[in-house]
Amino acid sequence: MYLELKNRLGAQLKSVLQAKYDLAVESIPLETPPDLKMGELATPIALQLARTLRKAPRVIAQEIVSSLGPLPGFASFEIAGAGYINARLDRAAGVHAIADASGIGPAADGVHSLVEHTSINPNKAAHIGHLRNAILGDTFVRLLRAAGQRVTVQNYIDNTGVQVADVVVGFLYLEGKSAADVRALIAECEARSAGQADKSGAFDYLCWNLYARTSQWYVSGTEEENAARKKLRYETLHAIEHGGNETAEIAELISTAVLKRHLETMLRLGIEYDFLPRESEILHLNFWALAFELLKKTGVLYFENEGKNKGCWVMTRPGADVTDGETDEDAKVIVRSNGTVTYVGKDIAYHLWKFGLLGRDFGYRKFFTYPDHECWISTEEGEAEHPHFGGVQAIYNVIDSRQSDPQANVIQALRGMGHTAEADHYTHFSYEMVALTPRCALDLGYDVPEEDRSRAYIEVSGRKGFGVKADDLIDKLISATLEEVNKRQTGRDQAERGQIAAQIAIGALRYFMLKYTRNSVIAFDFKDALSFEGETGPYIQYAVVRVRNIFRKAGTTPEAVLAEFASIDAAPFLVGEDAEDIWAVWLRAGRRSTVLEQGIATSEPAYLAKHAFQLAQEFNNFYHRHHILTEENAARKRFLLATAAIVLRELVTVLGWLGIESPEAM
């Protein structure tokens, strides 16, 4: 509702300026006044035009207002302050527009986009940092879908990297295990932890410890021993990359088993994927060879004959100023002098595939089954029948901010190849890491060096085995929630309580990860994450439950109330001091599409989180001031019930976008 009125006013102002002053203003600044008393929309346009028109701002404002004429949806315009034009909405019309559900569903906008998120190295259990990534990515997917886009969700799997190699080294040389042993161990872990709440014996947990142990092993021997161990590490890595040997087989077993665990962990949060492209296929299907030819042909890559990069194929970094004839020592190496390709090179090939520009495709086979769809994984030779992935118009890579340089290199390469449209629709959805507060680290029993104890936060490190595992955190949240639910829901059985507790716990976790804007470091602390009061997911869920309880006792349904609402004259209930907070609730409810648009344009899901919280807050305020069920005026009671129904509809919808369920009770 708000978005439509905002656009309508903007267009009207534009045409007035055109007609009256012969001015073509590109976009009219429209904002929300600081107080509802001043109206619902405002523009400082007269202040801006004062200089060019050489008139006092208030005079200009007056002239504009007198030419605005009547505008559907608006009640009046007035001049305030130094020359603001404030618009008051026709409240009754606004309320009915909001209540009328038509036009709320997404209009398919035809864009096919791809969101890549999670992308955890498949060599250890997921931790809280990975949760932030997956929750941000999954929420953004939901936002794009709400806006009518067709979205595929990818989770890139680096199954041939040095991190997997380290765990392989651990199994081979620290544990002395063969491929058959590892296979048996995985089967044992899966059998043991199947249907078990306790994940301590799960394979990804086991790898978490082994990975930390191996990383230590590399540096804990004598100098010669360490050199030999490092050599072993790179031999192992190369054997995995090459494939077709027992080392590679172990790597495949590990990465597949850990990946399954990751998918299970994420499914607990309602996070699902469509496709899992793996590095092994990018290597073995020679994506790079094709990309290399394209990069040479377009001149993005050139062979360096001089300087420190002599013998390499390199590309100019974005923003670099290179003088002709001089050697660009700062150029990014894509192909090493020994002929092997770097990480960025492989990533360029992969991104050409994403946009359908490579001319080669993966093989596909089914990997994981969700209730309503399949998740596919890349293979060299796959099933004949499969959906088509890749070839999209826009991509979003949810990758932490530390990788902004390599991401910029890939974008630069696409642009250099002439794929400017693709480069423009390549978004590095960057976010800051989740770190631990020193206190939290000490509580977890980690050894925190003296010099780190005064820091605001300490980075988690898989290599050191330092961090909070995702499943542990979820378990802890669920048990803390269950304690509260047990106190309140004495009339419900264990299964119901468990379900409610899980909904609340996941809501708390997802909201916690979404309330911060992306480039703020989250200093993780159990006290904050386990909080269910104030600006939290459960606070919003509680507002939902309150509305549901009202309707349960009122003997009617939100749908029935809203259906009947169309024929009610709401105007009498929207005037006067007493009505301001009620109108505030409706107005907030009507801002949904504005906030969605803003959240997508800025790639910032936190806006939606904030919106849901504010609506819940305004509702709670309304709830305390206006007692619905005891209202004696029948017409007013219907109006108040409609208000509650709208809050329910909006909160359930927006919480759904955030991946947070709306419990029936709590």
Footprint of RNA on residues 286-315 (CB under 7 A)?
308-312
Considering beta carbons, is residue 62 or 393 the nearer one to RNA?
Answer: 62
Considering beta carbons, is residue 137 or 392 the nearer one to RNA?
Answer: 137
| Residue in this structure with the two tokens 């420190």, named with its chain if needed | 308
Considering beta carbons, is residue 185 or 647 the nearer one to RNA?
Answer: 647
Considering beta carbons, is residue 123 or 193 the nearer one to RNA?
Answer: 123
Task: Specify burial of residue 300 (Cβ count, 10 A radius: 0-12, 13-18, 19+).
Answer: buried
Task: Mark 253-282 with x for binding to RNA (rule: CB under 7 A) and - for no binding.
Answer: --------------------------x---
- 8 A C-beta contact, residue 269 and residue 138: yes
Considering beta carbons, is residue 44 or 465 the nearer one to RNA?
Answer: 44
Residue 208 and residue 244: Cα distance in Å, rounded?
26
Order the strands of the 41-43 sheet from edge to edge. 41-43, 84-89, 74-80
Tokens of 576: 């006067």
Contact call for residue 621 and RNA (CB under 7 A): yes
Residue 29 and residue 113: Cα distance in Å, rounded?
30
Q: Which stretch binds RNA (CB under 7 A): 168-176, 376-384, 566-574, 618-626?
A: 618-626
Residue 143 phi, psi (nearest 5): -65, -45
As measured in angstroms, the least distance from the Cβ of 55 to RNA is 13
DSSP output for 557-594? -HHHHHHHHTTS--GGGG-SGGGHHHHHHHHHHTTHHH
Contacts of 393 (CB under 8 A, 6+ apart): 111, 112, 113, 425
Longest dimension (CA), the chain: 89
Residue choice 88, 268, 296, 336 for contact with RNA (CB under 7 A)? 336
Residue choice 158, 252, 281, 328 for contact with RNA (CB under 7 A)? 158
**Helix 606-625 vs helix 537-554: crossing angle, to nearest 10:** 40
Contact call for residue 495 and RNA (CB under 7 A): no
Q: How many CB atoms lie within 10 A of CB 443?
A: 13
Contact call for residue 593 and RNA (CB under 7 A): no
Using CB under 7 A as the binding rule, the residues of this chain from 25 to 54 that contact RNA are 27, 29-35, 38, 42, 44, 47-48, 50-51
Tokens of 16: 């007035």
Contact call for residue 606 and RNA (CB under 7 A): yes
Contact call for residue 665 and RNA (CB under 7 A): yes
Contact call for residue 160 and RNA (CB under 7 A): yes
- Give the number of residues in contact with RNA, rule: CB under 7 A: 98
Contact call for residue 629 and RNA (CB under 7 A): yes
Residue choice 84, 205, 389, 426 for contact with RNA (CB under 7 A)? 84
As measured in angstroms, the least distance from the Cβ of 305 to RNA is 11
Using CB under 7 A as the binding rule, the residues of this chain from 51 to 80 that contact RNA are 51, 80
Contacts of 36 (CB under 8 A, 6+ apart): 580, 583, 584, 587
As measured in angstroms, the least distance from the Cβ of 385 to RNA is 31
As measured in angstroms, the least distance from the Cβ of 132 to RNA is 12
Considering beta carbons, is residue 374 or 484 the nearer one to RNA?
Answer: 484
Considering beta carbons, is residue 111 or 521 the nearer one to RNA?
Answer: 521
Task: Specify burial of residue 621 (Cβ count, 10 A radius: 0-12, 13-18, 19+).
Answer: middle
CA distances in angstroms from 5 to 98, 580, 591, listed in the order given: 12, 20, 10
Residue choice 162, 290, 357, 444 for contact with RNA (CB under 7 A)? 162
What letter would DSSP give residue 359? S
Residue choice 15, 196, 245, 337 for contact with RNA (CB under 7 A)? 337
Tokens of 71: 């505008």
Query: 3-class secondary structure for 472-495?
Result: HHHHHHHHHHHHHHHHHCCCCCHH
Q: Which stretch binds RNA (CB under 7 A): 14-22, 146-154, 398-406, 464-472?
A: 398-406
Using CB under 7 A as the binding rule, the residues of this chain from 643 to 662 that contact RNA are none
As measured in angstroms, the least distance from the Cβ of 513 to RNA is 12
Using CB under 7 A as the binding rule, the residues of this chain from 448 to 467 that contact RNA are 455-456, 459
Residue choice 306, 343, 359, 557 for contact with RNA (CB under 7 A)? 343
Contacts of 567 (CB under 8 A, 6+ apart): none
Tokens of 652: 């359930």
Q: Which stretch binds RNA (CB under 7 A): 16-24, 169-177, 582-590, 620-628?
A: 620-628
As measured in angstroms, the least distance from the Cβ of 298 to RNA is 21
| Residue in this structure with the two tokens 């378990």, named with its chain if needed | 475
- 8 A C-beta contact, residue 516 and residue 433: no
Contact call for residue 603 and RNA (CB under 7 A): no
Residue 638 and residue 565: Cα distance in Å, rounded?
8
- 8 A C-beta contact, residue 332 and residue 409: yes
Contact call for residue 129 and RNA (CB under 7 A): no
CA distances in angstroms from 503 to 469, 483, 597, 661, listed in the order given: 20, 14, 27, 6
As measured in angstroms, the least distance from the Cβ of 545 to RNA is 8
Task: Mark 172-211 with x for binding to RNA (rule: CB under 7 A) and - for no binding.
Answer: ----------------------------------------
Using CB under 7 A as the binding rule, the residues of this chain from 403 to 422 that contact RNA are 403-406
Q: Which stretch binds RNA (CB under 7 A): 122-130, 250-258, 289-297, 488-496?
A: 488-496
Tokens of 301: 């890559």
Contact call for residue 3 and RNA (CB under 7 A): no
Residue choice 379, 401, 556, 593 for contact with RNA (CB under 7 A)? 401
As measured in angstroms, the least distance from the Cβ of 190 to RNA is 26
Considering beta carbons, is residue 31 or 424 the nearer one to RNA?
Answer: 31
Considering beta carbons, is residue 100 or 405 the nearer one to RNA?
Answer: 405
Using CB under 7 A as the binding rule, the residues of this chain from 499 to 558 that contact RNA are 500, 504, 515-517, 519-523, 528, 531-535, 538-539, 542, 546, 549-550, 553
Question: Backbone dihedral region of 73: left (phi > 0), alpha (psi from -120 to 50 degrees) or beta?
Answer: left
Considering beta carbons, is residue 374 or 432 the nearer one to RNA?
Answer: 432
Considering beta carbons, is residue 238 or 366 the nearer one to RNA?
Answer: 238
Residue 354 and residue 144: Cα distance in Å, rounded?
18
As measured in angstroms, the least distance from the Cβ of 195 to RNA is 25
Task: Specify burial of residue 431 (Cβ count, 10 A radius: 0-12, 13-18, 19+).
Answer: buried
Residue choice 62, 67, 342, 593 for contact with RNA (CB under 7 A)? 342
As measured in angstroms, the least distance from the Cβ of 625 to RNA is 7
Considering beta carbons, is residue 226 or 393 the nearer one to RNA?
Answer: 226
- State the sign of the Cα–Cα–Cα–Cα dihedral 110, 116, 117, 122: positive
Considering beta carbons, is residue 154 or 193 the nearer one to RNA?
Answer: 154
- Beta strand segments in 317-433, E: 332-335, 363-369, 374-379, 394-400, 426-431
Residue 45 and residue 57: Cα distance in Å, rounded?
9
CA distances in angstroms from 660 to 42, 285, 313, 401, 502, listed in the order given: 34, 39, 48, 26, 11
Contact call for residue 113 and RNA (CB under 7 A): no
